């Protein structure tokens, strides 16, 4: 039975899993769980993931959720996945796990909190929460500094000094791509101080294309809709299509 990937491409961990499968030639069926329609909270989907979040996979009798656990599982059980994604070497592997664990309460928390409290409230017709946005921004900047000065300090193109990407590059870059939905000036302001980070995003994209661009098409469409918004909270189509997007992500 073919691997099933339950995902919404508006969700950054969903995109990481989809890109990983495509880059590694893993045969899978993508099952769209439309988080704008709250399908992740349906009884059917909760049979797959009781936490009501995407992505999740079903592989034979195995049901699994949490994108990092999924990426590790896929790297270990599918033949033909190149070693650099999740090396057999226990020392390299431990370092990758350290990045992935760090990500949860740092880059992810900062990026999600910032996006949820800046670009989304106007699109959803909700009031802004400047304090929450400021807290998110603080965590985001602190995390970007750590990526720039520590995780990318090696001589290679990727995290931990690697010359080829690992699942950590895929997870963290997918997260940063979510910042694309921000206003162009704000996006530039946030990333401008981090030259290595900007280059690393390009390198990860390059290493995983055409799948990277293909998986991000939906995000760029959402971005275009957001940029077109004439004023705060007036575009009901955008509001409807974005509603509940972020709280539903993993």
- CA dist., res. 133 & res. 24, Å (int): 37
What is the residue whose two structure tokens read 């000065």?
Answer: 149
In the complex, the smallest distance separating the C-beta of residue 147 from its own copies, rounded to whole angstroms, is: 12
| Smallest distance from its own copies to CB 146, Å | 7
- Bridging pattern class, strands 62-65 and 56-59: antiparallel
Does residue 64 belong to the site contacting its own copies (CB under 8 A)?
Answer: yes
Beta strand pairing status for 28-32 and 3-7? parallel
Q: x/- contact string, 11-50, with its own copies (CB under 8 A)? A: ---------------------------------------x
Q: Taking a C-beta distance cutoff of 8 angstroms, is the pair 179, 190 a contact?
A: yes
- The window from 26-34, 95-103, 187-195, 222-230 that contacts its own copies (CB under 8 A) reads 95-103
Q: Considering the rule CB under 8 A, would residue 101 count as an interface residue with its own copies?
A: yes
Answer for which of 43, 80, 88, 91 binds its own copies (CB under 8 A) is 91
Q: Interface residues for its own copies in 144-183 (CB under 8 A)?
A: 146, 149-150
The contact pattern for its own copies, residues 203-222, with x = CB under 8 A and - = no contact, is: --------------------
Closest to 223 (Cα-Cα) out of 236, 249, 208, 241: 241
The residue to which tokens 């193109």 are assigned: 157
| The binder of its own copies chosen from 22, 24, 38, 109 (CB under 8 A) | 109
Nearer to its own copies, 31 or 168 (CB): 168
- b vs e for 115-138, b when ≥16 Cβ sit within 10 Å of the residue's Cβ? bbbbbbbbbbeeeeeeeebebbbe
Instruction: Give the N- to C-terminal CA distance of the chain in Å, as an integer.
Output: 26
Q: Which residues bind its own copies (CB under 8 A)?
A: 50-51, 62, 64-70, 72-73, 76-77, 90-91, 93-95, 97-98, 100-102, 104-105, 108-109, 146, 149-150
């Amino acid at each position: 039975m073919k691997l099933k990937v339950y995902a919404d491409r508006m969700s950054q961990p969903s995109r990481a899993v989809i890109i990983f499968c495509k880059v590694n030639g893993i045969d899978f069926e993508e099952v769209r769980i439309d988080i704008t329609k709250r399908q992740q909270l349906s009884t059917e989907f909760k049979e797959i993931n009781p936490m009501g979040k995407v992505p999740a996979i079903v592989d034979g009798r195995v049901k699994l959720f949490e994108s990092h656990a999924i990426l590790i599982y896929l790297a270990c059980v599918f033949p033909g996945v190149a070693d650099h994604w999740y090396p057999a070497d226990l020392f390299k592997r431990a370092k990758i796990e350290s990045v992935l664990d760090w990500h949860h309460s740092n880059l992810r928390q900062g990026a999600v909190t910032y996006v949820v409290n800046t670009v989304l409230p106007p699109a959803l017709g909700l009031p802004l929460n400047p304090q929450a946005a400021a807290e998110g921004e603080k965590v985001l900047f602190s995390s970007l500094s750590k990526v720039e000065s520590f995780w990318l300090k090696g001589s290679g193109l990727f995290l931990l000094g690697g010359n080829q990407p690992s699942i950590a590059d895929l997870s963290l870059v997918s997260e940063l791509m979510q910042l694309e939905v921000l206003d162009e000036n704000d996006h530039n302001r946030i990333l401008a101080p981090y030259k290595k980070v900007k280059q690393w995003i390009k390198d990860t994209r390059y290493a995983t294309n055409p799948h990277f661009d293909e998986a991000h098409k939906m995000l760029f469409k959402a971005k275009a809709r957001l940029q077109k918004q004439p004023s705060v909270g007036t575009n009901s189509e955008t509001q409807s299509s974005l509603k509940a997007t972020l709280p539903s992500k993993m």
